[in-house]
Amino acid sequence: MTTGLIPGAQPPEPRPDSGLPSQARREPGDRAAQHTDNRPRSSVITARAAASFEPVGRSVASARSFVRDTLQGWGFADIVDDAVVLTSELVTNAVVHAGTSADVLCLRTEDGVRIEVADRYPEREIPLQGAAVNMGSPDREGGRGLQLCAALAGRWGVEYTPTHKQVWFQLELPERPVGTRAAGPSLPAELLPLADGRVRVAVVQIDRTGAISAWNEDAEELFGYPADQVTGKPLTDLAAWPHTPGTGTGVAEALQLSRWEGSYGIRDAAGRVVPVYASHLRVRDTDGEPSTVCLLVRDHERAVLQTPSRVTTSDSGTSGEGQSNDPFEVFIGSPAPDDLDGLLQRTVERARDMLDADSAFLLLATDDETELEVRASTGLPSARQRFARVPVEAGPGRYGSARMPAVHDDLTAVPGAVPLLDGTGMRSVVTVPLKVEGRLTGSLGVAAEAAGRYSNEEALRLQFAADRIALAVESARLGELERLRRGSLSFLVEASDLLAGTLDRDQTLALMAQMTVPTLATWCAVYTIADQASEPYLSYVLHEDEELIDGIKSLLSKIPPPDPVPAPGARVWTAPAEVAHQAALRTSMRSLGLGEPATVSSGIGTTLATAGAVGGETVVLPLVARNRVIGMLTLGKPTDEHFRQEILELAEDLSRRAALALDNARLYSERTAISQSLQRSLLPPELPSIDGVEVEVIYRAAGEGNEVGGDFYDVFPISDGAYGFAIGDVCGTGPNAAAVTGLARHALRLLAREGLSGPAVLERLNSAILDEGARSRFLTLLYGELRPQPDGSAELKVVCAGHPLPLRLRQDGTVEAAAEPQPLLGVLEDLELYEETVTLDPGDVLLCVTDGVTERREGTRMLGDDGLADVLTTCTGLTAGAVAARIMRAVERFASDAPSDDMAILAMRVPGLHHA
């Protein structure tokens, strides 16, 4: 192809209309001629561009590109599409059907543009004047050039010379009424774009909080939700918005902008993602309350809402050289998007338009440059392709490497040559690399449904555009990566704090799931492994939609769990998607009467929703702690969605922290269970039933997880009619004190049942404690023997060895000490102890407590013996259980802080005569 451009030149006037047949020569009865201006015009030509094209098929696309670039450079974006269509038909007639080269001449005038297409095949029948011109059927492969000229051009004609045939047409700029921002030419119905039946425009209004406040009938039809089901819910629950922590503009941010326009997805009632094109407008009502009105259509019907691209035009009075000098701005437009996703989407759309393609896509290289990740596309099922990966080196030779430009004339001849386009209907494709300082950063490609659309010339043009955009894309990618790393670090720090804040196994499992959904995945499942001989157990399932949790849990329970492989990193698990798809298919067939009847009825909606929820990519990450696989974290996406590598790396970091937290919780639970089992062995069995005496005990051990501390109690039978009782306090709290507690309680029982008196029992216990050596601890102990009497009273013989004195409550409300203080145990070797006799009359109460009760503090105040006695005076007429409960309530209310010492309360009461 040879081209020539003479901006601002004054070439000879266009060839005059001679006596040759043209639109101007047709009879008035010709309908097409009635709407045209047949008078020749003499306009000043301000610019001219010419090109010649060889008689090969790819010349048609080259001619289209030549005309498009020329008119856009002149600032005639309003008539570009019509000019490209007409040129394409006329050049096709020349280079394909006539088999000759084609000369294209573009002339810019004050009124519009005149384009002439000439070929070297003049031997055509000259139509007779006045005869009906048969311009062929629109369904024919060729011969539609004149028909389109009649439909689209303001003036057109055909001229013949002995060596050439020339068809010319002239397009005038449309007159725009005042206030019109953009307009297009009037087109016949058969040339208008197709739409799927009725075009539905969903109108969704979002309130200040981001919740849906209005939902019209078209929204219900498009997405399957009735208005009452979604009203009040956040739009984020439905929007399938490509979001990475810390990067890009999220849906919440987009709703706060005064205007926003672009593509995303909406999850319908069946769980599928419906690609939509949206236009957002921020408004306020008469009260000043802001809200956002969202108009949404199917993505392939975006022309209904999409704002026409604004083309940079030359300043008035200048030639085609008045365009922007920045090649980036020329290609991407102004203003350039300030986020990576917006920049990539604008890039693929401009690349598609530049080569008059049906689709375009852009892939970014991973850090190791071994794979390319799909980040933007147009004309392709974006929900399925987004974040999909393809290898950089797909095969041998330059056509199998993304590092070199490549042109594929027909993909059906080489299946799998471009895996991204498999099953999309695209046949011809051109791809070029994006490189920065010689390093591969991505790949840009455009594709068409027809074969043989592109040549090396288109590859060079696309490579030129890729070179202009590569640096901006890499800069935006690095900025996104930095924001992602900052967001990831913040996310991991917060996750570590939450996981470190609990040692409860179930709470740890719940935190793991809640941190991954919906930040990293749409749903997750946690498997745990008790030991190396155990199978993985499904312990927790979470989905961002709570209504789908039961369905996913049921589905996963029917699938063998993934293998507990300790190898680090995420691995793909296809079983959930496959089983869900099969289950949905069987349910659908049964509902149509095509399969076996179901033994257990299952709603088809539930099955389809579950299949949609787990139909995307599912990955498994091992939970490894202390060189052992203790479980697996499973993350999943809905149908047609994939994970980004950055998300998987973040999930891997989280899984390591979660595994350690889960193992710590397991170890803590095991240690706690062992400790509690041992502590329960130190507690006495159930209290014996004593005829004529009520006995009640309340025990509180200080410290989390402790059931037994330094305080202890016991009530046990000694002989017929006699019972021993004890309440003591070992120095300190916790396990060390509990060890002395066990020694004291068991020794008391053994010695008392040997028939020894109270002082003898305590003296031998004192020797046993001293024999413990360095492990010994001093002990305060109140020990006594109780013997009910025939007259309804009870005789007690007590020894108070350094313990708080027991208090006796009489029926008249008086309180007095029931024993004298004596030396404590575990300090002196030779003790001289004695016992005292106390008689409890009917209605009397004996209250025994440890010093954790009397020494309860609030600041500088202490409950003390006097405070305990005051509380006891209010317990006249109460049962032993009521007395103990009132004393404990008074102790707890005395101070707001949790008790720091063990507490034990032993109450014994002789019922009055009316209780007998």
Does residue 733 sit in helix, strand or coil? Answer: coil
- Provide, rounded to the nearest whole percent, the portion of the chain with pLDDT above 90: 20
Q: How far apart are CA 211 and CA 208, in angstroms?
A: 7
d(CA 275, CA 296): 10
Task: Please tell me the predicted confidence (pLDDT) of residue 913.
Answer: 60
Q: Tell me, what DSSP letter sits at residue 285?
A: -
Tell me the two tokens of residue 515. 């941190």
Residue 136 has pLDDT above 60, yes or no: no
Work out whether strand 628-636 and strand 618-625 pair parallel, antiparallel, or are unpaired. Answer: antiparallel
First to last CA, the chain: 122
Instruction: For 289, list phi and psi in degrees, rounded to 5.
Output: -80, 120
> Who's near 186: CB < 8 A, 6+ residues apart?
none
Quick check: helix, strand or coil at residue 541?
strand
User: Which has more confidence, 679 or 444?
Assistant: 444
Contact between 426 and 449 under an 8 Å Cβ cutoff? The reply is: yes
Task: Quote the tokens at residue 430.
Answer: 């051109």
Inform me whether the pLDDT recorded for 541 exceeds 80: yes
pLDDT at residue number 801: 93
Task: Choose from 98-107, 469-478, 838-847 the range with maximum mean pLDDT.
Answer: 838-847
Q: Is the pLDDT of residue 812 over 70?
A: yes
* Residues paired with residue 268 on neighbouring β-strands, in sequence order: none
Mean pLDDT comparison of 18-22, 303-307, 604-608, 850-854, highest-scoring range:
850-854
pLDDT band at 638 (very low <50, low <70, confident <90, very high): confident
Average pLDDT score over residue span 69-74: 80
The token pair that represents 22 in the structure block: 């043209």
Look at residue 185 in the predicted model and tell me its pLDDT: 63
Of the CA atoms within 13 Å of residue 669, those in its CB half-sphere come to 14
pLDDT digits (tens, 9 = 90+) for 559-618: 889 888 888 888 888 888 888 778 777 776 766 666 554 444 444 455 677 777 787 888
Which of 182-191, 286-295, 486-495 has the lowest average pLDDT? 182-191
The answer to whether 849 and 906 are in contact (CB under 8 A) is yes
425 Cβ partners below 8 Å, 6+ apart? Answer: 449
The single-letter code of the amino acid at 695 is V
458 backbone dihedrals φ, ψ, rounded to 5°? -65, -35
pLDDT tens, 782-802?
999 999 998 889 999 999 999
| 492 Cβ contact list (under 8 Å, min separation 6) | 650, 653, 654, 657
